[in-house]
A and B are shown apart, each in its own frame.
Chain A
């Protein structure tokens, strides 16, 4: 028998789902076995099935989902030892090269597997396949060959042209063409010569890994699962624009990502992919360090990010000058996000036309989405641009959990908007999504069903941006506060119809009067929900009802006395003693005391508690 590899996914999601004890057990079970190799890999994006264990043998990969210690023992005993598949826990079979999707002959338990078939994995090409702490595994899958091609076979201008021709646009949200950004930085007058920079070449390549959009986690996953792809992308960029310094600005909330990147940086230095005279080119010196963010959403904005790298309060400043001319320490600076950089090595290796064969309109290549909310199959998926939202939500994310009715999908986080059912055939590309009033953003996709209140969601996002507003622009600082107060009033049932007009007018003023993306997009969630779900606002304001039964002051719990058996379970469950009644007599809820937590309803054995 050929050598067998057993992989276990230990990115944050895997660990959070209990992957560590499973990994420990795996090591124990296979201790001393020379015919079996254990590999600790990152995330293949099937978060809803974590912890994941794959058995790879004879070029085929079998992935098991929800693997606890018990399941693992069976997998090792039956599959690894006796070559008999444990069918009831198998979720995927595929080729060794691509268990997560994009390869032929994949089936998922009980059905065809559209989640795998419909994906095209460029950014996630190595995620979940390789050990992120081992550079040899990255190199074995064509790692650093894109950089090598750029340095050895291309001029700097050729490399930029390749990226420009690919049509790659910034994956952080704004969608600015990456090649063009690089050209600006390339053309910027290099920094002054000084002792440490005798050539005067002093430009910065910055990676924005401050993934602040609550609901997006692809950058974390890429950094944890395949950090070299980002480092290689930065190195290619550095070669192209002539940068000698690199900074990865990463959220401190992502300790595993930071750890994996630092390990990868050391390894890349050891192998000569970073440092002096990279790949033998005497004019190419480049090194990268990690700068930890300290928790501020606005630092995703590039001028705020630069201020933060310099150790100041992360507040944006007006542009121009653009970072390409005056960025970190006033040096020419290029900033792209994690996903953008991770595309670059693939483009340099396979060529621009291989990349732009995927896509739609002016949006080329793929986009990684973080699927969350009320769906059956959460996780990460990378799809070609142009796929309709409906396919992403129903075929890849498996549709709505508990088969409830779809209400809206929120795209682009706090800067984005809610897209309703009748626009579900919108293709995922920058322009089409902008036309709905939402934005592509970083690719967070939060699905909501009929039990989600869109007014409450709008209030939620506004509370977020209000808290994160840096306070520089009055319209953003005060305007979002006023909008939030109005939304709070409406969700308390104290709204009046004029409030809707006030919201619209404030939204326009905040957009016009704010310096940076945070303020300019902050009203989007309110504007899109007002546009598509005005009825729900009216229900809150006029009827004093929350149709989704979410907004606490507008809902009431009551016990149907004719069906109550007086079991007292609700009384015990109630955290605020709002329920009275003695054993075997009907109980009663005091509406003034009730906090609408819903615990009584959940604990009632005869379903006699209703909410309206």
Chain B
């Protein structure tokens, strides 16, 4: 079960106030509301949800229900570099499984986890839509295609040096 990480977030209410105003009095806003909260705070923090919930009179349970349903919401702070490794069909038959294993070994984390130094977050995604470059990973906004286990880890080592 995904639970939010507790911890004081500075200026939380001031940062969330414009978001609250944007959605006040509107119906069916849970998804874009949570997306804005995540963009502002970096993740769907429990205290942030509680705050917007009280301000907009939407039960926090409802917001968490929506947040836990969709893949785009995360409940922990992310690393500096987010690795989105494509585990779609085309990438799978071109060997993305081996790439995944090698990245997991090299960083010591699994899908959805973040390294202790907050450098890397590893996410498996369903399809990046660049199937003819398979296997593919997106690091930040940069696409790396035709990966091998070695090449993938090489990319990450370069980033760590930077």
Which A residues are within 8 Å of any B CB, using their own CB?
Answer: 12-13, 15-17, 47-48, 50, 211-217, 220, 252-254, 292-297, 308-315, 370-374, 378-379, 410, 413, 444, 446, 448, 452, 457, 460-461, 464, 470, 573, 575-576, 595, 597-599, 602
Nearest CB in chain A: distance from B102 CB, A: 6
Q: Mark B69-92, 1 if CB is under 8 A from A, else 0.
A: 111110000000000000111101
Query: Across the interface, do A311 and B29 meet the contact criterion of CB distance under 8 Å?
Result: yes
Known: A17-B133, A378-B132. Contact between A215 and B90, CB under 8 A?
yes
Query: Across the interface, do B128 and A253 meet the contact criterion of CB distance under 8 Å?
Result: yes
Chain A residues within 8 Å of B101, by CB:
595, 597
Chain B residues within 8 Å of A308, by CB:
31
Within 8 A of A (CB), among B120-162: 125-134, 136, 143, 145, 148-150
Say which residue of A295, A296, A311, A372 sits within 8 Å of B28 (CB atoms): A311
Nearest CB in chain A: distance from B143 CB, A: 4
Query: Across the interface, do A296 and B66 meet the contact criterion of CB distance under 8 Å?
Result: no
Query: Across the interface, do B102 and A374 meet the contact criterion of CB distance under 8 Å?
Result: no
* Cβ of B108 under 8 Å from chain A: no
CA distance A141 to B32 in the complex (A): 36
Total cross-chain contacts (CB, 8 A): 140
Query: Across the interface, do A214 and B126 meet the contact criterion of CB distance under 8 Å?
Result: yes
Query: Across the interface, do B70 and A372 meet the contact criterion of CB distance under 8 Å?
Result: no
Nearest A residue (CB) for B106 = A575
CA distance A413 to B126 in the complex (A): 11
* Cβ of B59 under 8 Å from chain A: no
* Cβ of B98 under 8 Å from chain A: yes
Nearest A residue (CB) for B134 = A372
CA distance A311 to B58 in the complex (A): 12
Nearest B residue (CB) for A377 = B132
Nearest A residue (CB) for B128 = A253
Nearest CB in chain A: distance from B39 CB, A: 11
Chain B residues within 8 Å of A293, by CB:
70
* Cβ of B93 under 8 Å from chain A: yes
CA distance A302 to B13 in the complex (A): 37
Which B residues are within 8 Å of any A CB, using their own CB?
Answer: 27-32, 34-35, 65-66, 69-73, 87-90, 92-94, 98, 101-102, 105-106, 125-134, 136, 143, 145, 148-150
CA distance A448 to B94 in the complex (A): 9
Query: Across the interface, do B72 and A444 meet the contact criterion of CB distance under 8 Å?
Result: no
Query: Across the interface, do B132 and A215 meet the contact criterion of CB distance under 8 Å?
Result: no
CA distance A464 to B131 in the complex (A): 17
Query: Across the interface, do A294 and B130 meet the contact criterion of CB distance under 8 Å?
Result: no
CA distance A575 to B12 in the complex (A): 44
Known: A313-B65, A460-B89. Contact between A214 and B127, CB under 8 A?
yes
Nearest CB in chain B: distance from A440 CB, A: 16
Nearest A residue (CB) for B99 = A597
Say which residue of B29, B35, B89 sits within 8 Å of A215 (CB atoms): B89
Query: Across the interface, do B126 and A464 meet the contact criterion of CB distance under 8 Å?
Result: yes
Chain B residues within 8 Å of A460, by CB:
89, 92
Nearest B residue (CB) for A314 = B69
Chain B residues within 8 Å of A461, by CB:
89
Chain A residues within 8 Å of B125, by CB:
253
Chain B residues within 8 Å of A310, by CB:
27-28
Query: Across the interface, do A295 and B132 meet the contact criterion of CB distance under 8 Å?
Result: no
Known: A16-B136, A217-B127. Contact between A311 and B66, CB under 8 A?
yes
CA distance A510 to B49 in the complex (A): 36
Known: A292-B35, A413-B89. Contact between A575 and B102, CB under 8 A?
yes
CA distance A461 to B88 in the complex (A): 9
Chain B residues within 8 Å of A220, by CB:
129
Nearest CB in chain B: distance from A15 CB, A: 7
Query: Across the interface, do A292 and B32 meet the contact criterion of CB distance under 8 Å?
Result: yes
Say which residue of A294, A314, A374 sits within 8 Å of B93 (CB atoms): A374
CA distance A312 to B72 in the complex (A): 15
**5 A-B pairs with least C-beta separation:** A378-B132, A295-B71, A214-B88, A311-B28, A294-B70
Say which residue of A16, A313, A444, A597 sits within 8 Å of B89 (CB atoms): A444
Chain B residues within 8 Å of A413, by CB:
89
Chain A residues within 8 Å of B145, by CB:
16-17
Query: Across the interface, do B72 and A252 meet the contact criterion of CB distance under 8 Å?
Result: yes
